[in-house]
Amino acid sequence: MSFQEQIHDVAQLACVELFTPKFEESFWFFHDVLGMTPTEDDGKSCYLRGYEDRYHHSLKLTRSDKAGIGMVGWRASSPQALERRVAAIEASGSPGKWVEGHKGYGKAYEFTTPDGHKQHLFWEVEYYEAPAEMKSKLLSRAQKRPLRGVPVRRLDHVNLLCSDVTKNGKFLQDNLGFLKRENVVFGGQDELAAWFSVSPLVHEVAFTKDQAGPGNRLHHVAFWYGNQGQMLDLADILQEYDVTIEAGPAKHGVSQAYFMYVYEPGGNRIELFGDTGYLIFDPDWKTLTWDESNFFNGGGVWFGGELPQDFFVYGTPIVEAAMAEAEETGAVTEPAE
């Protein structure tokens, strides 16, 4: 009996970079509303983290002329694991390059997904050191819980829009050891969405078919609370301060997680994750496939209302003409979480 042994060389999603054309407003959202702590601002980017993120930052917020995602950062499980994954990527026919000088982590291997999403893989990281007044009595907590906003605890996952879900997912599976946890296939045709992880989490990254653009875009970045009740408090605050809630609070069938999707002022979609959903400890997990027979009966939304049409076509950078055409022609199929 042949069994494909799991590769444990990528440890976790460590950080993401978001572009924003409205830096001050976006900073207000992440700092004042989501309660994230800034660690540094170099004039081009501000580096922030949730109160249980252990590294220098989990969010790099970069001033730009348009919204979107700049980079997704992954930590390897060891220096040797980093070298093994670099060797695999270079042998894949799509080699990257070594880069240095990035804040918060050391030498990194920069590569792209088949669609062009920039990724960094690294081992060395700078750990966050809380000032004395912010040190928590909980030894496992990187800092005190902030008395600001409804604070997120940590970065959870990223969902990337792409032109070919299967191709992009296979690149991560073959070269980095990601496992496909769930996917959506309609009509026995191409995958519309798939969710991948390197840990017991249901997903640290998802790929969704870009139905209104060329791919290489962002669907959303998600931050984790650990308590779905906090999302109700946050929804009340967002309504009060005119931050657009796109969907939720509600619960997904895929991942089983409580969610709320909002637009931060710069235009990027942000998901607030109320809990972990379910965890996967089975080493022989088989991908769960949703199709048109069950996705609309609890897959997309288990309870809490329907997802709006824009949820399936909007991404950043915005492709307005393509979005309008997709919505007018009805050339939109649903899944993305």
Q: Which one is predicted more confidently, 251 or 58?
A: 58
**Which pLDDT score is estimated for 318?**
86
Q: Contact, 270 vs 264, CB < 8 A?
A: yes
**Which pLDDT score is estimated for 322?**
47
What are 71's two structure tokens?
């980079």
Q: Which one is predicted more confidently, 193 or 248?
A: 193
**Which pLDDT score is estimated for 167?**
96
| Residue at token pair 């070269």 | 175
Q: Can you point out the beta strands (E) in 275-321? A: 288-290
> What is the tens place of the pLDDT at every residue in 264-314?
999 999 999 888 789 999 999 999 999 988 887 778 878 888 888 898 899
Q: Contact, 249 vs 298, CB < 8 A?
A: no
What are 141's two structure tokens?
């907590």
First to last CA, the chain: 35
How many Å apart are CA 148 and CA 295, to the nearest integer? Answer: 38
pLDDT at 95 over 80: yes
Q: Is 255 left (phi over 0), alpha (psi -120 to 50) or beta?
A: left
> What is the tens place of the pLDDT at every residue in 136-159?
999 999 999 999 998 999 999 999
Of the candidate ranges 3-12, 107-116, 189-198, 281-290, the one whose mean pLDDT is the lowest: 3-12
Q: What average pLDDT score do residues 78-99 get?
A: 96
> What is the tens place of the pLDDT at every residue in 240-263?
999 999 998 988 878 888 889 999
How many Å apart are CA 12 and CA 75, to the nearest integer? Answer: 6
Say which amino acid occupies 5: E
Q: Can you point out the beta strands (E) in 50-92? A: 59-63, 68-76
Give the predicted TM-score (pTM) of the model.
0.91
pLDDT at 70 over 70: yes
How many Å apart are CA 294 and CA 182, to the nearest integer? Answer: 13
Q: What average pLDDT score do residues 212-233 get?
A: 90
pLDDT bin (cut points 50, 70, 90) of residue 320 is: low
pLDDT bin (cut points 50, 70, 90) of residue 335 is: low
**Which pLDDT score is estimated for 6?**
86
pLDDT at 333 over 80: no
**Which pLDDT score is estimated for 248?**
83
